[in-house]
Amino acid sequence: MNKSTTKQNTDNKGGMMSGGLMKGLMLGGLAGLLFGGLLGNMGIFGSILGLLINGLAIIFSILVAVKIYHFFKRKRKEEANVWRN
């Protein structure tokens, strides 16, 4: 008798650290509520301050992406020149 066994996937990644689009939307919404409540009663200055915070967040994310790109590009170049010492 041949018994076929199937392995069931037991990796359950539930909760807050599951990732994906819904996590980003939820965290973005919570950040918007936080800054909206924090800067909401300041009038035009609150709007300008919120714009500056969003701009800094965008610049920071671009800088992180560029640093990661340069890290992997430099690593690949060093691996190609291992035998040229």
How confident is the model at residue 32, as a pLDDT?
Answer: 78
pTM value is 0.55
Output the CA–CA distances (angstroms, integers) from residue 70 to 5, 15, 59, 73, in the order listed.
46, 33, 17, 5
- Residue 29's pLDDT is what? 82
Banded model confidence at residue 85, pLDDT cuts 50, 70, 90: low
Assign 3 a pLDDT band (cuts: 50, 70, 90).
Answer: low
DSSP string computed for 2-71:
-----PPP-----SGGG-SHHHHHHHHHHHHHHHHHHHGGGTHHHHHHHHHHHHHHHHHHHHHHHHHHHH
SS3 84: helix
pLDDT(81) > 70: no
